[in-house]
Structure 1
Amino acid sequence: MLFDAAAQSIGVNYGTVADNLPPATDVITLYTTNGIGKMRIFDPNQATLQALKGSNIEVIVGVVNNDLQGLATSPATANTWVQTNIIPYPDVKISYIAAGNEIKPSDPLAQYVGPAIQNLNNAITASNLQIKVSTVIDMSLLGNSFPPSAGSFSDSASSYINAIVSILVSTNAPLLANVYPYFAYTSDPTNIKLEYALFTSPGVVVQDGNLGYQNLFDAILDSLYSAIEKIGGANLTVIVTESGWPSDGDSGVAATVDNAGTYYKNLISHVKNGTPKKPGPLETYLFAMFDEDQKGPAETEKHFGLFSPTKEPKYQLTFT
């Protein structure tokens, strides 16, 4: 049974910023034939939701950032959003609604994230649905991340994230987080070894009290757990909504097919066990299903796909 729970913990982001992707029905088949049991979509795309009907794939449905203000300021708008994008799909297994993606505390939209979560949650509750509402953060909100036990949010992020964590604790919803060792490594390759980022270090690299860290993914995530604990979220679950590695596009040596394949393969097997601070299966979504030729501005953004747009696998991965 342990293996089943672990196998079910892997999902894949289905991004569509491309002009050459297969139709949604083919994409759902590709998920199913590869045993990928979870999907994250970035907006409530109707063709995708239609194709998901009866598929048994669990889905995180995103709210686009530009919709947050309307949802936050009008309960009626939140209700309409749920009636339009969730209610028509009773045979789609929608697990979470992600109200916004990587909103920065300095963004004018930041003030709307918490109220949007609350209004959507009220609309979901009024419809007698068992769907949790949250938002997706990135690691730029951390002011300190080393060692992991000293993890804390920056002063500039504190009022923003405190309000969100407080809401999630009260609704028993998870925090959704994007965790990219690739970006941490490429920002400081002098002090961070590639092996530490790729899960291939032969031994402990960072000793933090009684916890030893052999990989950067665990260290980043545990610093987030530490930061959340410090603001009253000790019992909050974190779901990793994105983690990936590009296969091309940087001028250095990091973005290669070999490195990306190593990262994804090791991540899949690793998250069955969680982190030193929080052992146990960790729900994790790989980024992303396809190479997306219209992403940018960085060239690497186009090369995160596990599959090419022609549905050919880029790596030999087993998702279950």
Structure 2
Amino acid sequence: MSVSTILLLVGILSSIRVLEFTAAQTQVVGICYGVNGNNLPSKQEVVDLYKSKGISRMRIYSPDEETLQALRGSNIELTMDVAGETLQSLTDPNVATDWVHRYVTSYSQDVNFKYIVVGNEVHPNYDVAPYILPAMTNIQNAISSANLQTKVSTAIDATLLTNSYPPNNGVFTADASPYIGPIINFLVKNGAPLLANVYPYFAYVNDQQDINLPYALFTQQGTNDIGYQNLFDAMLDSIYAALEKIGAPNLEIVVSESGWPSAGGDGALVENAHAYYYNLINHANSGSGTPKRPGRPIQTFLFAMFDENQKPGAETERHFGLFNPDKSSKY
């Protein structure tokens, strides 16, 4: 092999950035585990994969008992959603108490519950919207009665905001404010964070005229005219600005989903997804924070563990996985 060929190979290898997780990174970075697929590994295999890759935080979207059994003794920190179809029933305190006993208390000795999520991306005009706060209240009361430290929250998306650019102008919409205001008061009272799904990908594909790809992928050099180097920080800070305007300036935000698809739509390429996940992991863990909340790691869940071939919606929805169904890394 010639010297020039060796040098070329060294250059190629040095440019490959491996998507991996270290103990320090997984203190703030977790991965969402969705199950809308007919080709996914068993629940035990998935938990074993989290452990083997050093991924110490998981979000699941319903209280699946097979997953909870697999998580016993794993030390994986769990964020667990309430299934949407059960939200109305949980407005009954007795039903909420039974729910907590079945899915939380029964496993709490050897499963590390961090957050219970009541409602994922619920909008004020949804039929279940009136049930969110009563269900949150009843579940938190049952958890407190069981002397557990788990916090109850809800996960919102960016469509509840308006005037999000520049980020300091971010405010909840007129329709969202009456819905989200009492929920925010509940979170402040209970010392729980607000969960938010933050997707620069969707902001980028919906406004490619004003948002460039490097800004969305954390690869922009230097800050823009309002002092931001990446779209993720700008989106997150717009939510912080909205919280300030609603009287909750000190409420913490946990990013409960963020990801980039590898196929199925504009900008949905393996190289873009790889760059986004790699740079988001490093940014969240760096301790740099955002311009409005500097000097702190950003608790973030990557979406998602696997491609989900049965997930409804646009084609991109089926291509957010970091791992293939055979458990090999996509990146």
TM-score (norm 2): 0.91
The residue type equivalent to 2:273 in the other structure is: A
**1:130 equivalent in structure 2:** 149
Within the candidate set 167, 174, 192, 1:148 is matched to: 167
User: Gapped runs of 5+ residues in structure 2?
Assistant: 1-21
Secondary structure at the counterpart of residue 100 of structure 1: strand
The residue type equivalent to 1:170 in the other structure is: K
Check conservation: 2:259, 2:320, Cα contact below 8 A. yes
1:287-306 equivalences under 5 Å are 287-306=303-322
Check conservation: 2:160, 2:176, Cα contact below 8 A. yes
* Structure ID, larger Rg: 2
Q: Distance in 2 between matches of 1:131 and 1:39?
A: 14
Corresponding pairs, count: 306
Q: Does 1:247 align with 2:266?
A: no
Q: Does 1:261 align with 2:264?
A: no
Check conservation: 2:23, 2:54, Cα contact below 8 A. no
Check conservation: 1:82, 1:123, Cα contact below 8 A. yes
Secondary structure at the counterpart of residue 105 of structure 2: coil
Secondary structure at the counterpart of residue 156 of structure 1: coil
CA deviation after TM superposition for structure 1 residue 182, in Å? 0.1
CA deviation after TM superposition for structure 1 residue 60, in Å? 0.3
CA deviation after TM superposition for structure 1 residue 7, in Å? 4.0
Secondary structure at the counterpart of residue 256 of structure 2: strand
**Cα-to-partner distance string for 1:110-153 (whole Å, 9 max, x where unaligned):** 11111111000000011111100001101100022011111100
**1:64 equivalent in structure 2:** 83
Q: Distance in 2 between matches of 1:54 and 1:98?
A: 22
Q: Distance in 2 between matches of 1:67 and 1:232?
A: 31
Q: Distance in 2 between matches of 1:193 and 1:103?
A: 29
CA deviation after TM superposition for structure 1 residue 198, in Å? 0.2
Within the candidate set 108, 111, 123, 1:92 is matched to: 111
User: Gapped runs of 5+ residues in structure 1?
Assistant: 316-320
**Cα-to-partner distance string for 1:211-260 (whole Å, 9 max, x where unaligned):** x100000000000000011111111110000000000001x3x0000000
Q: Percent identity?
A: 54
The residue type equivalent to 1:294 in the other structure is: Q
Q: Distance in 2 between matches of 1:71 and 1:181?
A: 33
The residue type equivalent to 2:135 in the other structure is: A
CA deviation after TM superposition for structure 1 residue 67, in Å? 1.2
Q: Distance in 1 between matches of 2:34 and 2:223?
A: 35
The residue type equivalent to 1:82 in the other structure is: V
Check conservation: 2:26, 2:55, Cα contact below 8 A. no
Q: Distance in 1 between matches of 2:98 and 2:121?
A: 24
Q: Distance in 1 between matches of 2:127 and 2:225?
A: 37
Check conservation: 1:206, 1:214, Cα contact below 8 A. no
Secondary structure at the counterpart of residue 307 of structure 1: coil
Q: Distance in 1 between matches of 2:148 and 2:66?
A: 22
